[in-house]
């Protein structure tokens, strides 16, 4: 694409995302819906004037990395730790239920082959941490107990999803699966999650030192962006999603993250506040591009609306997608019903993770165009309508949320 055409597309993306986001926010609708709709309107579903090219996908990837950096810097690691086993339970349930039900529906009800059925079930295990946390943030619930459970579960979901994807990819390519390869990927991801925040904390102390001495403005932002992009690259190198690199960098710069190496390595609250303030504008510039890109990736025009069997398959798959994640919240047997519903609903959006799975399936020839489009439609519906459901649920249960917020840990 020529530069001037790309610049015009970028103008349309930024302006439409802001305009529709502002319009919907005035009616108490999450602004992320406006950004998703901007992509649907500009993309192949309607006007078809913006193509989801590689440059837009790259900017979108930077957007989700920055969003997870913001999530990380606002995360209280102590509070996250207090949620204990609950994120693990939700994550495992949120993988096993959709995977099993999705496979059963595809293989036994609709007679699809084994590999295609496994891939469809695996795609339904995804959870869009970006969509969920953006909505919780807009609802001022990002530090609530349910948000901490969802955050931990969504991160684990991504890791399990990567393992599933690598298994299916290897099976499709070689006809067999190597346990050693899967184990090494999992080990590298776990090692990264343990070491990266510590390394980022140490580097941030160096940035703080030289930021005070710099004679050129902008050193802080330049170095922080460089740090989180480097960790995103490092996450990819060890087999983890890039967004976990941004989360690890943000977590290290949080006021609530400390190291047992003495005060010289500790980042003071003033520095953390300064980083958050300077980075906010950059985060809010790139993040909408990510959500618009999701809308651009959806093509409702490709769907065969005249096929009763395809419509039935889509409907059943949608029911499985919703029920599988919703039921995962009810595995939290010791929590209140309100927390269970809140977690279950928040886990439903598939978003970018589901689209990545579906696209890989089509690219590898595991999904034909009809079933690919059906799967994308399910992903689109769970992505676009869940924020509405979250808004309604949290608005109606505001009083219960306040009592749950103080009592759930006990």
Provide the angle, in degrees to the nearest 10, between the axes of the packed helices 145-174 and 398-407: 90
Q: Which two tokens stand for residue 260?
A: 């047992």
pLDDT at site 262: 41
> Using CB atoms within 10 A of its CB, is residue 333 exposed (0-12), middle (13-18) or buried (19+)?
exposed
User: Please, what is the Cα angle at 74 between 69 and 76, to 5 degrees?
Assistant: 120
Cα–Cα distance between 213 and 176 in angstroms, integer?
57
Q: Mean pLDDT per 10-residue run, the chain (410 residues)?
A: 89 95 82 87 92 89 87 73 83 91 93 88 84 81 83 80 74 69 78 81 81 80 90 85 82 68 53 84 90 83 80 93 92 83 89 74 76 85 86 72 48
Long-range contacts of 307-314 (CB under 8 A, 24+ apart): 307/370, 309/110, 310/370, 310/374, 313/105, 313/110, 313/371, 313/374, 314/374, 314/377, 314/378
- Supply the pLDDT for residue 275: 85
- Minimal CA–CA distance to 235: which of 254, 249, 224, 252? 249
DSSP string over 314-333: HHHHHHHHHHHHHHHHTT-T
The Cα 33–Cα 44 span in angstroms is 18
Cβ atoms of residues 197 and 235 within 8 Å: no
Residue 62's pLDDT is 92
Report how far residue 339's alpha carbon sits from residue 284's, in angstroms, rounded to the nearest whole number: 29
Quote the pLDDT of residue 32. 81
Domains of the chain: 3-407 (1.20.1530.20)
- Classified as helix, coil or strand, 51 is coil
The angle at the Cα of 10, spanning 5 to 12, to the nearest 5 degrees, equals 95
Q: Return all residues near 24 (Cβ < 8 A) that are at least 6 apart.
A: 30, 31, 33, 34, 37
Task: Please tell me the predicted confidence (pLDDT) of residue 352.
Answer: 67
Range 384-388, long-range pairs (CB < 8 A, 24+ positions): 384/33, 384/36, 384/37, 386/131, 386/132, 386/135, 386/345, 386/348, 386/349, 387/29, 387/30, 387/32, 387/33, 387/131, 387/135, 387/349, 388/29, 388/30, 388/33
Where helices occur in 54-178 by DSSP H, the ranges are 54-73, 77-82, 86-104, 114-123, 129-138, 145-174
Dihedral, CA of residue 103, residue 109, residue 114 and residue 120, to nearest 10: -40
Return the pLDDT at 10.
Answer: 94
* pLDDT given for residue 109 in this prediction: 92
């Amino acid at each position: 694409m020529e530069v001037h055409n790309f610049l015009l597309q970028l103008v349309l993306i930024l302006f439409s995302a802001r305009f529709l986001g502002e319009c919907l926010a005035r009616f108490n609708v999450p602004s992320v819906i406006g950004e998703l709709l901007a992509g649907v309107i500009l993309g192949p579903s309607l006007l078809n004037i913006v193509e989801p090219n590689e440059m837009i996908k790259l900017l979108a990837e930077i957007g989700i990395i920055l969003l997870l950096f913001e999530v990380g810097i606002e995360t209280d690691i102590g509070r996250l730790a207090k949620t204990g086993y609950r994120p693990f339970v939700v994550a495992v349930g949120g993988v096993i239920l959709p995977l099993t039900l999705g496979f059963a529906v595809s293989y036994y009800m609709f007679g699809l082959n084994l590999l295609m059925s496994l891939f469809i079930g695996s795609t339904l295990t995804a959870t869009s941490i970006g969509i969920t946390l953006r909505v919780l943030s807009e609802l001022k619930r990002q530090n609530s107990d349910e948000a901490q459970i969802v955050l931990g579960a969504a991160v684990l979901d991504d890791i399990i999803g990567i393992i599933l994807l690598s298994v299916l990819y290897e099976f499709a390519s070689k006809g067999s699966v190597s346990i050693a390869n899967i184990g090494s990927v999992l080990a590298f991801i776990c090692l990264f999650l343990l070491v990266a925040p510590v390394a980022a904390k140490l580097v941030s102390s160096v940035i703080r030192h030289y930021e005070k001495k710099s004679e050129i403005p902008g050193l802080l932002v330049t170095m922080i962006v460089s740090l989180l992009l480097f960790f995103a690259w490092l996450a990819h190198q060890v087999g983890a999603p890039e967004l976990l690199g941004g989360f690890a960098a943000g977590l290290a710069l949080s006021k609530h993250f400390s190291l047992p190496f003495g005060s010289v390595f500790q980042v003071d609250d003033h520095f953390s506040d300064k980083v958050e303030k300077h980075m906010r504008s950059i985060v809010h510039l790139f993040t909408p591009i990510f959500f618009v890109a999701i809308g651009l990736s959806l093509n409702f025009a490709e769907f065969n609306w005249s096929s009763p069997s395809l419509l039935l398959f889509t409907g059943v798959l949608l029911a499985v997608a919703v029920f599988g994640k919703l039921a995962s919240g009810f595995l939290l047997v010791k929590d209140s019903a309100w927390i269970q519903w809140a977690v279950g609903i928040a886990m439903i959006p598939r978003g970018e993770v589901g689209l990545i799975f579906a696209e890989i399936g089509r690219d590898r020839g595991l999904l034909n165009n009809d079933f690919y489009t059906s799967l994308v439609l399910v992903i689109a519906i769970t992505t676009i309508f869940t924020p509405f459901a979250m808004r309604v649920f949290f608005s109606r249960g505001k009083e219960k949320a306040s009592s749950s917020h103080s009592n759930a840990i006990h």
